Structure 1
Amino acid sequence: MKVLKSTRNSHIEANKRRNLAVVVLLLVLSEFIIALGARITSWLLLAAVLPVLAVPIFLRRYDVWKAGSTGEKSVVRELQGLDDSYYLVSSVVLPGSRGDIDQVLLGASGVFVIETKNYSGKVVCDGDNWYRIKRGTRDAVRTESLSKQVKRNASQLRRFIHDTTQISLHVNPVLVFVHPAVHLELNNPTVPVLRPGELAGFIRGFESPFRLGEEQLELLGESIREASAR
């Protein structure tokens, strides 16, 4: 598999680094204020507490982004078994889009939009309705429709491909759950829902009515990469 854009410079990695940097900055600021307070006034000592109180907030954000990063990297590792007729573009941000696409995979078997979820606990799917039951609880909490999300991303990519290359094709949405402690309860999902170990086999065995040549695949991959880099 040829990687045209990796996860290294993705917005997830950027947010992970940013939140960790804020944590370090807050701790350094607190220590600096304490050092000043020891020589000047006691109110500075009180001011030193405020940065420390903010640390857990940014640590939680860091953990969320780190989990997302870990999930995307695990999917990339699973796809490494594909041969060089496949092209991978990670962390794709299309022009005019509000969010990013975790991975776009292009190959002779089709074009795929892959959405990665690093959820733990029980996840219930009923068509396009999705619910989470976190570990230690019994209450099902309805979440944003994960299938609608990945289908929306696939539709945006299909329009982008048509507008930029005049190639009309179907883009296949795929959901991948990577956390080892997730329990999936699926009832008529509207998109393929897979675990990481199933992904490469699913891609290889997929039969698309749209067969693209190597030059077309490389052209599409470069167009998506360049658009995402702007």
Structure 2
Amino acid sequence: MIDENRLHEAGALLAAEAARFAGMGWMRGTSGNLSLTLERDPLRLAVTASGLDKGELGPADVVLTDSRGELLPGDERGLVPSAEAGLHARIAAVTGAGAAVHVHAMAAVEAGFHWPVGVEIADMEMLKGIGHSAHGERVVIPVVQNSQDMVELGDRFEEVYLRPANGIAEVPAVIVASHGMYAWGADLAAARRHTEIVEWLLRFTVRTRATR
């Protein structure tokens, strides 16, 4: 059982990260969401609550969800999980991630528009920040079509994650077309690093599109 103190601590961490990403313009208004995996069996996540300005979250602005991203009983504060909590839960279950970040960074939306089946990247020094070689290795940031049904969206994510293209290295991120991107890691710091690095790689790829 997860006590209120532990949930409050998770909320403080998530609020700090949300403020960071809001300051970058990647979580404008109420957009975007974050999660921390608190338990594995059964799966329990702390997820930012829906409808709140991500630049103004406090430690209490998180909820505890189950393996489907649904609010666990007993919380009488009136908060509800982000509508995308179900995908956070699927990411945690499939990848073993300790944290996940969803941002509406413009570079991800643009890249998903230009390369709807995946964004191929190679020979970039920044690839080392997501666990790959700077040279001689191709990676693809996968792109999935958006859906308001989190089970359907989770199935699309799981398909591209478990079946990467032949010869293409796996990455800790996925683009949701016309929406944004998700990135994850072993903990919140790793998820943050992966988010920032993947966004940088996508931004460079979009900016140099005409010359590639």
Band the TM-score falls in, shorter-chain normalisation? 0.3 to 0.5
* TM-score of the two chains, using structure 2 as the length reference: 0.33
TM-score of the aligned structures, taking structure 1 as reference length? 0.31
Higher RCO (CA < 8 A, seq sep 6+): 1
Higher helix fraction (1 or 2): 1
